Amino acid sequence: MLLEIEDLSVHYGRIQALHGISLIVDEGEIVTLIGANGAGKTTTMRAISGLRMPSKGRITFDGKDISTMRADLRVTLGISQAPEGRGIFPGMSVIENLEMGCYARKDPGGKERKEDFDRVFTLFPRLAERRDQVGGTLSGGEQQMLTIGRALMARPRLLLLDEPSMGLAPMLIRQIFDIVTEINSQGTTVLVVEQNAQQALSRAHRGYVMETGAITKEGRGEDLLVDQAVKAAYLGVA
């Protein structure tokens, strides 16, 4: 397996956000983590990326314990995140934002950099059209594309996507998930946190359901889509 989380707990002061969760992501998969607001999904992603240290448990990436590793070192190992809320640099151009994704690479200006720009612009033609435009003037959908593109510039083995559909129109949501599927087909493993359970589970090989900081259900994406409890809670079907 590529990523393994074992009995992970995370606290914010005295408040416990994660209660001993365990999950795995195999290489080549799309795995989704669904749940309501406040369930602990974003905290899980922050723990994987190194932005929040666990109070208990272990995170293993490609057989290496990274539980206490700095966030920037995790990027060099092959973990890259497109965070919740996009987090682009609004005063920088599209090109400059994408270049920031190369900062941890050994060849930030080499031949591979051009290949990665070509890949991002092929996946997101709109970014190619707006390459010199300031990031803060892009639409919400374009900013989401830029966030994912910037994460891809790090050449990740594992791409973490935190709420990629947030604030987007239904047509754009489908487009973003089509691109996520294409990224995965190109060989990148994806872990996606998402409230749009229909889109996330329909694209995922496997999924986990999180409630109040705990994993309450897991299974194949297609099985969770027809699970009555999941349908009632997350798909608007009683």
Q: Give the model confidence (pLDDT) of 122-165 as tens digits.
A: 999 999 999 999 999 999 999 999 999 999 999 999 999 999 98
Q: What's the pLDDT score for residue 107?
A: 66
pLDDT tens string 192-237: 998 889 999 999 999 999 999 999 999 999 999 999 999 988 876 5
Whether residue 166 has pLDDT greater than 80: yes
| b/e code 181-215 from CB counts within 10 Å (16+ = b) | eebbeeebbbbbbbbbbbbbbebbbbbbbbeebeb
pLDDT cut 90: percent of the chain above it? 80
Q: How far apart are CA 230 and CA 200, in angstroms?
A: 13
Architecture per CATH, domain 1-78+156-238, reads as 3-Layer(aba) Sandwich (3.40)
Are the beta carbons of 195 and 42 closer than 8 angstroms? no
**Mean pLDDT across the chain:** 92
What is the pTM (predicted TM-score) of this model? 0.93
Whether residue 108 has pLDDT greater than 80: no
pLDDT tens string 40-56: 999 999 999 999 999 99
Which residues are paired to 60 by β-bridges?
4, 65
Question: DSSP character for 156?
Answer: -
Give the model's confidence band at 238: pLDDT under 50 very low, under 70 low, under 90 confident, else very high. very low
Q: Where in the chain is the domain with CATH 3.40.50.300?
A: 1-78+156-238
Which residues are paired to 21 by β-bridges?
8
Q: What's the pLDDT score for residue 26?
A: 98
Whether residue 170 has pLDDT greater than 90: no
Q: What's the pLDDT score for residue 111?
A: 75
Q: How far apart are CA 105 and CA 83, in angstroms?
A: 19
Are the beta carbons of 168 and 140 closer than 8 angstroms? yes
Q: What's the pLDDT score for residue 87?
A: 85
The widest CA-to-CA distance across the chain, in whole angstroms, is 54
